Amino acid sequence: MTKEILSGTKQDTRMIAVGGDGTINEMLNGAIGFPHAIIGSLAAGSGNDYVRGIQKTESVEEALSLFQDNAFSAIDIGQFETNGKMGYFVNSLGMGIDAEISDEADRSPLKKWFNFVRAGKLIYLFIFIKKIVTYKPSCMELIIDGDRHLLKKVWFIVIANQSYFGGGMKISPMSKLDDGRLNVIAVHDIPLLKLLTVFITVLWGGHLNIKNVDSFSGKMIKMKNEGSVKIQSDGEIVGRNEVAAVVLKEKLRVMLQGVNRYKNMK
């Protein structure tokens, strides 16, 4: 649908996604290649991390007001390739328990109920508690701009384009939308009880002070898992076990709260 609309015009066109992060990801992948697209989101999903970390509107009224003015700018996005499939992400790309949680949350009948009572992000916490006792951390290879890291007992690695994931967890406090880089957070070699501390402190970004919660930054990232584990892109499952990602600088025009200028895309 996004491609069909944008193919029919060359004028600036505002596209509004009504839904969550999966909906905005679907629109993003349709809008790539159309420089006249301007993207926005009316939050109606479980996590709504795009609205929280990028658009920065806190209510429907704020979002509707934003859609009517000229507050938009060009931001970085990520491009990935996994299992012969290529795609794009605007929030994050992850491999490990985060992808397993995203997958089960998306299929859970409880998701609609949590959304109905406006507590959608609690579905991720509910499933996390279930998963930590059954998930088996594995060894992963992480390559960032040519530097190779071998990590043992990895719970997850997240490539972040903005600060938030998982319904409000501040996974990558140092991420910027226009710096031409992706931040990488790896959680490894951590016992179960300490992992609970990580998932508490991540709410405000304090997890980066915990040993074996490593933070990196780069333009080209590769991840490879020795076992079998899922990969998520903005919460959508896109593959397994191995993925490569690059940053595309100022590739997408989006509506942003508090912005009154447009950056020329390169």
Tell me, yes or no, whether 33 and 163 share the same domain: no
**Nearest in space to 158 (alpha carbons), one of 247, 97, 83, 236:** 97
Distance CA 266, CA 251 (A): 7
Q: What 3-state DSSP class applies to 61?
A: helix
The Cα diameter of the chain in Å comes to: 55
**Nearest in space to 225 (alpha carbons), one of 131, 146, 135, 150:** 150
pLDDT of 266: 39
Range of the domain at 111: 80-247
Does residue 36 belong to any structural domain of this protein?
yes
Tell me, yes or no, whether 70 and 88 share the same domain: no
Residue 126 is part of a domain; what is its CATH number?
Answer: 2.60.200.40
pLDDT of 111: 60
pLDDT of 77: 98
Tell me, yes or no, whether 88 and 202 share the same domain: yes
Burial of 26 (0-12, 13-18, 19+ CB in 10 A): middle
Q: Which tokens sit at 172?
A: 């990558």
pLDDT of 244: 98
The count of structural domains within the chain is 2
Distant-in-sequence, close-in-space partners of 186: CB < 8 Å, separation ≥ 6: 140, 142, 149, 151, 154, 156, 157, 213, 214, 216
Tell me, yes or no, whether 74 and 84 share the same domain: no
**Nearest in space to 128 (alpha carbons), one of 100, 106, 147:** 100
pLDDT of 104: 86
Positions of the chain with pLDDT under 70:
108-122, 259-266
Report pTM. 0.90
Residue 67, CA atoms < 13 Å, CB-side half-sphere: 18
Amino acid occupying residue 186: A
Does residue 122 belong to any structural domain of this protein?
yes
Does residue 104 belong to any structural domain of this protein?
yes
pLDDT of 264: 40
Query: Contact 178/54 with Cβ under 8 angstroms?
Result: no
